[in-house]
Structure 1
Amino acid sequence: MKVAIIGLGFRLGYLGVVFSELDPDFEIVGYVDPAPAGLETLEKDGISPGRAYDTPEALIENETFDLLMIGSPNFMHLDHIRTGLEAGLTVFTEKPIVMSIEESYELAALLNAYGYDRLLVGLVLRYSPLYRDLRAAQADGRLGDVVSIEASEHIAPYHGAFFMRDWRRHTRYSGPFMLEKCCHDLDLYNGVVGARPRYVASFGGRKSFTPANAPQGAGANDIEVYHRKPSGWMGSDRVFDSDGDIIDYQTATVEYENGVAMTFHTNLNVPDEFRRFCVIGAKGMAEGDFVRGFLDVHDARTGEKTVSRTYSAPSERSQHYGADEQMAEDVIAHITRGAALPVSALDAIEAGILALAMDEARRERKVVDLAPVWARYDALLHGETAEAKATG
């Protein structure tokens, strides 16, 4: 499989290695990135990045490939997706797919014109063994009707400090933190619920990475933990007095259209990190943790544990609990043989809209009703809006 890359950052550099390990014919024919942070990762594994180009248009005009991969900063995603779709290409974009409600509408119109099956998205946790086992237990009837969910994504201080130093610290480039980091998780639970979110409330802010909490004493600003994860484009060394505007903790409550309720919590300063969920249904309960690597399912009537599984990454360098390897395998099969994928661009847009609603609710201290958003989104996704037809 041959690919071209727009935005050769750390993420797509790593995925280039993963894809090359699974496909002996994998080749990167070229890339566009003025400062390719992922180049070193590829070169360490002896993988050529192909020719460097100044613009996506030049790359597309001069190279032949099977898949255009987008790893550019979030605020560029929509333009790069549009360029690929208009050129007749199959496109893979990293999450989040776009970074605002308005961009979600624009993308819906694009997909109406070009077809959503030509746009793939890197919501990698859908490919994780743990999530697949959770959905299998649900399909087997072990949970019954889902009633409520408690879930979280908590990340360690070294990773939280990265967000305070990286370009992602500016929401004008990344969108809000719930979108940039937690859209993975929100997509998972949207899938479990099987319905769209309707009402959203949320609270949060920044309380950990503030000047008052900066380490004190000689050399305090060079403490290794806060600089362990390197930043790329627009990187900074400032952690506790970052010029960014992202939050470092947030909670949200969601009611779905089918009445299921969910609470979700994120925090960027959790020294013993976890990424867990508890899905409670009428017939059973599923509890799991991606970081700590387990899934337990209990029967509501008998209390019996009907599923008990543990998980570990396939290698020391593996990211996302082995999900990247499965995603690469499935994407290769999709491109070369037309195999189905477990997540779509539409799933990604819906997860993004939920994340954006969470941030709107937090900022404006209100309950957000998503019904008008879904109505406009569906009209654009499926064709002309009622207003356009009326005035046509």
Structure 2
Amino acid sequence: MTMKTIGYAAASAEAPLAPFHFDRRDLRANDVAIDILYSGVCHSDLHSARNDWGWSSYPLVPGHEIIGVVSAVGADVTRFKKGDRVGVGCMVDSCQKCDQCAKGEEQLCREGNTGTYNGQDRITGEATAGGYSKAIVVRQEFVLSVPEALDMSRAAPLLCAGITTYSPLKTWGVGPGSRVGVIGLGGLGHMAVKLAVGLGAHVTVLSRSPDKAADAKALGAHALLISTDETAMKSAGSGFDLIIDTVPVKHDLNLYTPLLDVDGTLVIVGQIGPMDEMSTTPLLLGRRRIAGSPIGGIAETQEMLDFCASKSIHPECETIRMDQINDAFDRMEKSDVRYRFVIDMASLTAEAA
């Protein structure tokens, strides 16, 4: 028996999200069924719904920042039981056999991980559907435990924005004494600030104007560097060990590479696609690096959730109803959110759909 559920889906790249009835698969032996309580709204959801990257298939149910409770488990499930607080992030499967999966880097699976939505089930080939829905079924290896200390209504964005910024902080060894810059203060950027501060780093927000000074300070940042202030930028040269670039559109890196110290790294976690032409001179002369980073693996994501619980780190969220999602998408395009929308899935009822 399949599980009938309801959600919101895009029928095409031009269509607004609308109510959608569909079936979740019956439980396999290693599956966990989850009643979804909250679903975060990621910029990737907007890009995917509108096919900005050219690989969307429809109907498309977005959502890969999922918080809920276990409603049932398959016969072979040992990690979870009914009633457990759980989360699901950007992926729901991988080959589980390659070298990357073996070392807990499922996001880098040699065969490609299976996306929580707009992916293909590895057994049936059916399209995966995401968290803008009442329920989901996921194999237990890709389900995360949500610590009691985390507020479930605010934890959802940790499953993408949180791990996307935590992973590079850990990869490049950020800790006490590290000098970290954060470009962009949106959904990703505000989490980068909170997590880097939590790890003990000295954190600077890079902004084009001084308007973000109060926000940066409120999030825990130690300084604001105005990228349009040539004197300030020159003085900050060679002053950072790591810069996390969260800007989600094409932009110029030439402003930022001279800010890196020797062996410093600018890691891109925002823009997917082309960037402005850049000079390699600062890279060659200062042994500086530009890198990219996706989400982390399941073990690292669980580590991040536990870390956030221990440090009382939560995303800053605005809770919305499911039927407000199209307005939320429009506002997100205008950066009119501080800093992440979260859908209260209790607002999605059979009558509403």
TM-score (norm 2): 0.30
**1 or 2, which has the higher helix percentage?**
1
Q: Calculate the TM-score normalised by the size of structure 1.
A: 0.28
Higher strand share: 2
Q: Rg bigger for which structure?
A: 1
Higher relative contact order (CA 8 A, sep 6+): 1
